[in-house]
Every structure is written in structure tokens, then in C-alpha cells.
């Protein structure tokens, strides 16, 4: 079992994702049609979107709504919302 699974009760989703992304930076994380992203690329996009959320006044604990088809950007948004 992955070490982050053991820590899951004591940590948050973003921290687990970030740890995985740092350990597996060059591994394929997302494949959406012709779009492919490694964990490093996904982490970069998630962190940039999280910074946008903070700049617009979204703070930890705030709720956001996502209306999206099943696509890579949904995952990015969900992870960025957890980054707070």
C-alpha cells in the first residue's frame, strides 16, 4: 500500500496529490483525448489555478461550484480548490 494511504486520515487531498506528483513527476497523470499531462505538468496547472482562487478572495473552507463535463480541467479545478 502507498505511504500516502496510511496518512490519509491525517492529511488532506492536495497534500497527497502533491506528494504523488513530486515522487512521480514524469509519469502520465491525465489522458483526455489527445491531451496528456504528467504529474509535474498537472501540479503546475493546479498550483496556478489555486493562486487565482486565492487572488480572487477564495479562502480555505469556502465552497465553490463546478459545472463541467468529464474532462481534465475538472480534475485541475477540484485539486486547486483543495490546495487552500
Provide the residue ranges of all domains of the chain, joining segments of one domain with +: 3-83
Look at the domain 3-83 and name its fold: Rossmann fold (3.40.50)
Q: Record the pTM.
A: 0.83
pLDDT, residue 60, reads: 82
Q: What is the mean pLDDT of residues 38-55?
A: 97
pLDDT, residue 6, reads: 57
Query: Rounded distance, CA 3 to CA 47, Å?
Result: 23
What residues have CB less than 8 Å from 42, skipping those under 6 apart? 21, 29, 30, 75, 76, 79
Do 51 and 12 contact (CB within 8 A), yes or no? no
What residues have CB less than 8 Å from 38, skipping those under 6 apart? 25, 26, 27, 28, 29
Amino acid at each position: 500500500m502507498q505511504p500516502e494511504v496510511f496518512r490519509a486520515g491525517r492529511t488532506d487531498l492536495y497534500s497527497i496529490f502533491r506528494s504523488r506528483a513530486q515522487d512521480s513527476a514524469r509519469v502520465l497523470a491525465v489522458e483526455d483525448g489527445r491531451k496528456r499531462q504528467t504529474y509535474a505538468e498537472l501540479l503546475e496547472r493546479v498550483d496556478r489555478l489555486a493562486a487565482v482562487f486565492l487572488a480572487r478572495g477564495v479562502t480555505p473552507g469556502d465552497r465553490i461550484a463546478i459545472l463541467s463535463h468529464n474532462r481534465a480541467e475538472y480534475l485541475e479545478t477540484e485539486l486547486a480548490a483543495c490546495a487552500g
